[in-house]
A and B are shown apart, each in its own frame.
Chain A
Amino acid sequence: MISKKIILTGSFGVGKTSLFNQFIFNQFDDKYLTTIGVKVNKKNIEVDGEEVSLLVWDIAGEVSQDKVPHSYFLGASGIIYVFDLTRPSTYKNIQGDIDYLKEMVKGAEIRVVGNKSDLVSENQVTEIKEGIDYPWDIITSAKTGENVNELFLSLGKAFLE
């Protein structure tokens, strides 16, 4: 079994902690509690018959990625960049943030995730997709659990390749 570090990052209030809780504990809470500093937890997943241990760091949200303490990113094999499909301010600078992350953590697998899909219609998703400056990898709902496991599984697969 291999062990890998994954970072959950993005602007505040986009649902990083909810994704974290949904993935680790299969739980969702409507109450919003801002994350202070960082929270760490672990989950083992099975990818094509092989077990992978994922150490997930849920980092306090920042409007811009260069505000996140540099040391949190060190040694990360995967980065999940989360934005809120209902708040344009959280996806207006994806390109800049991703460029920064790529520079900061060279060689890491990056997934761009549009969260809160339960709050938008299919038409709205299409509209957002057209207006965004960076293609997202997956849309999720921490509330319903849609695509949450798939998101982490795709990273697990990439780690084994």
Chain B
Amino acid sequence: MKELNQDQIRLQQLQEILLKGDRTKIQELQDILDDKTLLSERVAPIVKDHLDNLRDNYPEQYRAIVKDLIEQRAVKLEFLINQLQGTLDTKDKLSEKVSPIVEDHIQTLKENFPVEFKKVVNSQIERKLKDSQDEILNVITPVLGKLIRKSITHQFQVIKERIDSQIRGTFSRKGFFGRVFGKKSNVDDTDIILSNADALTIQEIFVIQQDSGLLIGSASKDTTIDKDVVAGMFTAIKAFVEDAFQKDEQELEMIEYDNYKIFIQNFYSYYIAVIMSGSISALERGAISEKLYEFAEKELRNVSKNIDSKLTDRISNQLKNYFFEVENVQL
């Protein structure tokens, strides 16, 4: 690079001094042009003065300019509206525009949900659980009861079967006559008749609201007296017994008269009373209980508090189908 001589340097310094003021002004102008707000602040009063002048002194020109501006704006607006309409009408385009916004919101919601909504959600869940307490218990009780009953029944079954087999060998008619008279015979007709005469049969079945004693549904082999009254009286007897012999929330489970037994299976908001004839063993009782739990689980999950004939008819039909339609229901 060619070195500058002394004169040239001085000349440059002189130019610097002379142009310094202009440079500052140019920079200021550049800043104004770059900053829209600043530009608007500076230019707007000038434009306004000009427009005022035009309006006052040259009204026709002023109107023409305003009209022109409005028309330009209208064209721009129309273009934008068409563009917007196109976006709205096209699913993909709309999705393209909206999806990021929605996703953003979802993401924000995901991140902040536990903090912002925890209290609201908790209180809602608590309220819902409180309101639906009866329904929840109605659903849970049969399942829990069934599990517990199943386990206990199984253990009892094992023990009983062992005892039964020993007793059968020792005290059966066949064994007895065999032992006493040395008779070699198979099981005779008398044994079969005796065993059938004492067979367990379900006569009637009632599903009854626990507190009120109102009948939810019933089915029976034969027509009997007013079932509503029977349901009410069962509940009254049950209430009396449970009140009179209050012991650690125990409930009445069996009433016996003559050759009949009324087996009561308690659930949370209702109970089922089964009237049976014949003798009942612990194993059969367990089997009935199992069947009742099964029925409750399937059909009585959403039993309403308000009982009407529609509900009663529905449950009665289900009871009939479940316990009486099939001949000789296997217990």
Contact = CB atoms under 8 A, between A and B. Distances in A.
Interface of A: 1-5, 37-38, 40-42, 53, 55, 57, 69-72, 74-77
A3 B214 contact: yes
B240 A2 contact: no
Given A55-B228, A69-B239, A70-B243, A40 B306 contact: no
A40 B307 contact: no
Contacts of B306: 2
A23 to B, nearest CB: 14
Contacts of A2: 306-309
Given A40-B233, A41-B229, A42-B232, A71 B307 contact: no
Nearest to A52: B308
Interface in B278-311: 306-309
Interface stretch (B137-145, B189-197, B205-213): B205-213
B212 A55 contact: yes
A75 B309 contact: no
Contact of B214 (A5, A41, A69): A5
A55 B312 CA distance: 15
A3 B211 contact: no
A74 B233 CA distance: 14
Report, nearest first, the 7 A-B pairs whose CB atoms are least far apart: A75-B212, A75-B211, A40-B232, A74-B211, A71-B239, A5-B212, A69-B243
A3 B228 contact: yes
27 contacts: A1-B308, A1-B309, A2-B307, A2-B308, A3-B215, A5-B212, A5-B232, A37-B236, A38-B239, A38-B240, A40-B213, A40-B229, A40-B235, A41-B229, A41-B232, A55-B228, A57-B213, A57-B232, A57-B236, A69-B239, A69-B240, A71-B240, A72-B236, A72-B239, A74-B212, A74-B239, A75-B213
Contacts of A72: 236, 239
Contacts of B235: 40
B198 interface: no
A5 B232 CA distance: 9
Contacts of A57: 213, 232, 236
Interface of B: 209-215, 226, 228-229, 232-233, 235-236, 239-240, 242-244, 306-309, 312
A55 B211 CA distance: 13
Contacts of A74: 210-212, 239
A32 to B, nearest CB: 22
A3 B308 contact: yes
Contacts of A37: 236, 240
A40 B212 contact: no
B240 A55 contact: no
Contacts of A69: 239-240, 243-244
B307 A3 contact: yes
Contacts of A75: 209-214
A40 B236 contact: yes
Given A3-B228, A72-B236, A55 B214 contact: yes
A4 B232 CA distance: 11
A4 B244 CA distance: 25
A40 B232 CA distance: 6
B228 A5 contact: no
A71 B243 contact: yes
A77 B232 CA distance: 14
A42 B308 contact: no
